């Protein structure tokens, strides 16, 4: 394995020149540096195109965590015809592109998953709950451990069993 040096940071590279996934510890930091101007530049672009008052009415907001982000807006048309092309151009300049399988434009009443959580409005009320994929992964991982804990402690009192199960459940809830 050889290393490319990027301003004193070493990035593992495989033999074919691609960066080694899972071993690139600096990647969240680089993603933050690369995408740092995303929100400010997007709002500046919208203000230049529509003016400050109209931009505020569009309610375009960016939520970002490392290389994942969500952009909300007042209308699907604005997001599809103005914001998405600008984001694609912004990323292309930096050598990045949107992931087609993770990118979609949807109404908040339909909901979306972000960082393992599902965001959706039910009857006008926003509810944030663990995503189905996250819950299924938890059930698969914990079902064996919970069933072993329960079956291995059949004679203990209920409070003691709850004390044994709580750390598993608490770890997932956080």
- Integer Cα distance of 108 and 62 in angstroms: 15
Coil, helix or strand for 120?
A: strand
Tokens of 55: 């931009």
Strand pairing category for 61-65 and 68-72: antiparallel
Q: Digits of tens for pLDDT over the chain (174 positions)?
A: 333 333 444 445 555 555 445 544 556 777 788 888 899 999 999 999 999 999 999 999 999 888 889 999 999 999 999 999 999 999 889 888 888 888 999 999 999 999 889 999 999 999 999 899 888 887 787 777 777 888 888 888 989 888 888 887 776 655
How do beta strands 9-13 and 2-6 pair?
A: antiparallel
């Amino acid at each position: 394995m050889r290393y490319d040096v990027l301003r004193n940071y070493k990035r593992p590279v495989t033999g074919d020149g691609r960066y080694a996934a899972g071993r690139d510890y600096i990647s969240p930091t680089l993603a933050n540096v690369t995408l740092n101007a995303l929100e400010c530049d997007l709002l500046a672009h919208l203000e230049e195109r529509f003016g400050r008052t109209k931009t505020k009415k569009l309610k375009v907001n960016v939520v970002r965590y490392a290389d994942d982000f969500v952009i909300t807006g007042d209308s699907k048309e604005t997001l599809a015809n103005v914001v998405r092309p600008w984001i694609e151009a912004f990323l292309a300049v930096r050598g990045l592109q949107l992931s087609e399988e993770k990118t979609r434009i949807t109404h908040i009443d339909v909901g979306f998953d972000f960082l393992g959580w599902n965001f959706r409005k039910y009857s006008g009320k926003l509810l944030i709950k663990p995503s189905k994929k996250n819950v299924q992964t938890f059930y698969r991982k914990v079902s064996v451990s919970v069933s072993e804990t329960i079956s291995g402690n059949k004679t203990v009192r209920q409070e003691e069993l709850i004390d044994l199960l709580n750390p598993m459940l608490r770890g997932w809830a956080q």
